[in-house]
A and B are shown apart, each in its own frame.
Chain A
Amino acid sequence: MDTIFNEFGVAMTRRNGYELAQTLNPELSDDMLRLVYKTANHASIKDLLKRHIRANTQHLPHVDLDEIQMWVDVFHCYWKTCGELLAIQDRSPKASWVKVYEAWKELFSALHRGYMSPKVELPAWTIPCLYIVGKYLRVFAMNADEERSNNPNQETTETNFQDDLDMEADKFVWLRDCGVQLNRMFTLCLNDRANLMESRKWGIYNVANLLFKTYFKVKSPDLCKNVLRAIIAGRGDMPPFEAIPKSQRVIFKYYQGVLEFLDENYPQAEEHLTEAWNLCHKDALRNKELILTYLIPCHLVTTAKLPSAKLLEPYPRLQQLFLPLCGAIKKGELHAFDLALQEGEDEFVKRRIYLTLERGRDIALRNLCRRVFLAGGFEPPKEENAQPLRRTRVPLDEFVAAIRLGSQEKLDSDEVECLLANQIYKGFMKGYISRPHNMVVLSKSGAFPPTGV
């Protein structure tokens, strides 16, 4: 306990928010947890805390009685949380993550009062405390949900009459509540009217990121849009984005990108994801992998380009995910493409990239048509030394044969014509279909626009 309050005093003196937040870190070793909790009992804890906090802040004249009382409340909740955590470590029959969550939520309320109360007006440099509170609020809520799904019988009496409720929605009771709390935290930061340098607005990105994670986890990503809207509406009166620590910027840009991706706004998605990629710490492999999971399908749609071997090299999981598709696209093997898509379907759907990847089939088809064109070779030269010209009038039958070969399906020529018309319409192929001659007449200059032929 002494250590905690020594550190508390030092952090208060230095006005160092991150150090201060560390004194509220609930992730302690078993011994520490026991030590903290056993220093006092329910009757004595408040007096003890008051003595400690007073002793370590008495040299700070601006810390008045109201603020001391607020910190006593906060650390009282901290102590209760430690007790509940200890019960879990000791596998006590009364232990429950719900109790941990509730105790921690109370801590947040005490802190919230500290910011809102005109008597205390906790200064903005302390907002890292909110970060740590928000972080563990989520962790504890997820554990409480997990515990709930592991012991479905415990609450039957309570939930019996709600049987018709969606079971899926039921899985995240505590995390949803956590979303409400985090939203309160977000508002607390957003609505601070203090001058920008001393404003809690510096906290909005961190809290927004916690909200994004939470809303994605409870499968309501659309709720993130309210958060984004609030930030965009307040623009001009916000800390400049470049001044926010990179870790927060990367996470924010990642979720912003994924949200655009889910709305199929690929150019915007690519912009945000690329920014996240560029800012990301070079050694944060897992996060880089996550960014690429969306950036690769995005890039495929916006530029028809594939990831290079060098890019995928450090990520066996991404190789497994994308390489079969990439190979099929390159070779124009429609059948292999369909198989690869089918093979990865579960993963693709889970990551919400299936529909985007499906668009790769058009590119595979483009490459197949391109191969038909290349296989056609050159026209016999009309005069000597003339530049050889590719054969641009290709019998429809050749495409029919190639597409049947590639897709291993018995398509009739009408269907193939339709596929080709689509390619022309989408700009993958330049030319027209001459029905009277059963010919596809391709452009003499750049029949397959960006591919050099």
Chain B
Amino acid sequence: MASSSAQSKPDSKATDNKAEQTQATQQKPAAADMDHDEFEDFKVEDWPEEETEAAQNGGETRHLWEESWDDDDTTEDFSAQLREELKKVNESKRR
């Protein structure tokens, strides 16, 4: 049989667990190598508000993102490097 849905399907007519298992192992992975951006079927059709991602952090999303610069980095090192570099530039100019 087909599809990636072996693991994602909640219930099947085959209630016999063993039968299900053999089926799963024998499945031809024909459609396993899906497109990278293909969404998986959810295990359930719907879920309560508290199981949504938004509810996990009390609707707070700010901590998910951070500023794109880094002040912890030793600016001193960089200044030194920069001074070094400037010296080189100036020297090459004088030459």
Contact = CB atoms under 8 A, between A and B. Distances in A.
A associates with B:
yes
A66 B86 CA distance: 89
Interface in B1-28: 1-3, 5-6, 9, 11-14, 16, 19-20, 22-23, 26, 28
Given A29-B20, A280-B52, A213 B66 contact: no
A89 B64 CA distance: 47
Chain A interface category by residue count: 35 or more
Contacts of A247: 41-42, 44-47
Count class of interface residues, chain B = 35 or more
B52 A216 contact: no
Interface string A22-40: 1101011111100000000
B82 A402 contact: yes
B63 to A, nearest CB: 6
Nearest to A284: B42
Interface stretch (A180-188, A190-198, A286-294): A286-294
Nearest to B14: A29
Nearest to B76: A375
Contacts of B5: 27, 135, 139
Contacts of B56: 282
A247 B41 CA distance: 8
B73 to A, nearest CB: 6
A287 B40 contact: yes
Interface string B47-61: 100011111100001
Interface stretch (A154-162, A225-233, A298-306): A298-306
A307 B9 CA distance: 32
Nearest to A404: B85
A370 B69 contact: yes
A375 B75 contact: yes
Interface in B51-95: 51-56, 61, 63-70, 73, 75, 78-79, 81-82, 85-86, 88-90
Contacts of B43: 281, 284
A213 B81 contact: no
A307 B65 contact: yes
Nearest to B15: A3
Contacts of B61: 274, 278
A62 B78 CA distance: 82
Given A304-B68, A308-B66, A246 B89 contact: no
Interface of B: 1-3, 5-6, 9, 11-14, 16, 19-20, 22-23, 26, 28, 30-31, 35-47, 51-56, 61, 63-70, 73, 75, 78-79, 81-82, 85-86, 88-90
Interface of A: 3-4, 7, 18, 22-23, 25, 27-32, 85, 88-89, 97, 135-136, 139-140, 142-143, 146-147, 209, 213, 216-217, 245-248, 250-251, 254-255, 258, 274, 277-284, 286-288, 290, 293, 299-300, 303-308, 310-311, 326, 329-332, 350-351, 363, 366-367, 370-372, 374-375, 377, 397-398, 400-402, 404-405, 451
19 contacts: A25-B12, A25-B13, A30-B23, A30-B26, A97-B2, A143-B28, A216-B38, A247-B44, A279-B52, A280-B52, A282-B52, A283-B51, A303-B65, A306-B65, A330-B69, A366-B69, A370-B69, A398-B82, A402-B82
Given A281-B42, A282-B52, A282-B56, 5 more contacts: A280-B52, A284-B43, A287-B39, A310-B63, A326-B68
